[in-house]
């Protein structure tokens, strides 16, 4: 991905083009760019809260001829680098502003029966608004390359473990509620401290096999927010048996690392943590929609 100057108005744009790579990676990159261009030039064109496609070009010369290039609007800050990597803090007002704008974007996306499937800090960008207070910022969701439209498989595992919904973890069908879970995981992480991730297993997983890492991620999630019976009863038998064998992940003091415990350790205001708990309903059938959450008292107080 390259950043370049837009000749029309002097502003910056983002230029995305599939990289030259082994055939299977090239095909994947082309497919993802095609998906994003199709969505942003179609159902999500000019949609509030979504980084927009400015132009699309087909190259006519060189090794990349016939390749499609997407030109996207540019926002100043990559949220992952700003908050998770560089560990810059955000105020409570900024977090609320960001939450409202992400929910607005998700509401607009979900009304088109599109699931982003990969909502995470790397896919949230923002710019500070000129001549505004510090709490005001323009926030948008980016990267619809792996988004799911209504005619696609909705059983595959999506996003990375920190932001993955319970239903995706255990192979159940997922839909728009999966994005809401990811949203809750992001906001919960923001309220803790710069660089924190709500569902990162305490103590780390260094030297652990990938299979065991995934099991520990799920056990950590299950400890933080227990799975209700109504949800487990719909899970595949394999996962019912696996989860029934879990024991809670414990802090060094021997206390289970629950959502309440984490909120206390990081001294998160109770009203803020209650909002996160309301979002993170394990059962997707009970999880609020983006429109529901936009009416939540926490966002309007």
Q: Could you write out the three-class secondary structure of 164-184?
A: CCHHHHCCCCCCHHHHHHHHH
Nearest partner of 172 among 229, 232, 222, 212, judged by Cα? 232
Read off the pLDDT band of 3 (50, 70, 90). very low
Read off the pLDDT band of 264 (50, 70, 90). very high
Rounded to 10 deg, the angle between the 270-279 and 176-192 helix axes is 160
| Secondary structure element (H or E) that encloses residue 137, with its range | strand 137-141
Whether residue 99 contacts residue 295, with contact meaning beta carbons closer than 8 Å, is answered with no
pLDDT digits (tens, 9 = 90+) for 50-104: 999 998 887 665 555 567 788 898 888 888 887 766 677 788 888 999 999 999 9
Express as a percent the part of the chain with pLDDT over 70. Answer: 86
More confident residue, 160 or 60: 160
Which of 267-274's residues contact partners 24+ apart within 8 Å by CB, and which partners? 268/191, 268/192, 269/92, 271/298, 271/301, 272/92, 272/191, 272/298, 273/188, 273/191, 274/298
pLDDT digits (tens, 9 = 90+) for 4-42: 445 445 578 888 877 655 566 777 888 889 999 999 999
Rounded to two decimals, the pTM is 0.90
Please give the domain boundaries of the chain with CATH numbers for all domains. Answer: 2-73 (3.30.200.20), 77-300 (1.10.510.10)
């Amino acid at each position: 991905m390259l950043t370049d100057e837009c000749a029309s108005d002097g502003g910056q744009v983002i230029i995305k083009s599939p990289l030259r790579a082994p055939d299977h990676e090239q095909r994947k990159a082309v497919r993802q760019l095609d998906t994003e261009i199709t969505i942003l030039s179609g159902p999500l064109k000019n949609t509030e809260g979504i980084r927009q496609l400015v132009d699309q070009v087909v190259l006519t010369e060189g090794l990349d001829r016939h390749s499609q290039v997407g030109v996207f609007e540019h926002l100043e800050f990559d949220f992952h680098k700003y908050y998770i990597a560089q560990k810059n803090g955000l105020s409570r007002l900024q977090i609320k502003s960001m939450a409202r704008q992400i929910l607005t974007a998700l509401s607009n996306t979900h009304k088109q029966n599109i699931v982003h499937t990969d909502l995470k800090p790397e896919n949230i960008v923002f710019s500070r608004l000129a001549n505004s207070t510090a709490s005001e910022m323009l926030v948008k969701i980016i990267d619809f390359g792996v988004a799911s439209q209504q005619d696609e498989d909705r059983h595959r595992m999506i996003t990375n473990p920190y932001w993955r919904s319970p239903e995706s973890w255990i192979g159940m069908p997922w839909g728009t509620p999966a994005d809401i879970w990811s949203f809750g995981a992001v906001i919960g992480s923001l309220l803790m401290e710069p660089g924190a991730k709500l569902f990162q297993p305490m103590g780390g997983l260094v030297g652990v096999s990938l299979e065991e890492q995934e099991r520990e991620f799920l056990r950590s999630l299950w400890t933080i927010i227990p799975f209700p019976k109504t949800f487990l009863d719909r899970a595949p038998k394999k996962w019912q048996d696996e989860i029934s064998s879990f024991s809670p992940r414990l802090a060094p003091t021997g206390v289970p690392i629950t959502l309440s415990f984490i909120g206390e350790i990081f001294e998160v205001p109770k009203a803020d943590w209650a909002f996160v708990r309301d979002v993170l309903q394990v059962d997707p059938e009970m999880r609020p929609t983006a429109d529901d959450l936009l009416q939540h008292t926490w966002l309007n107080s």
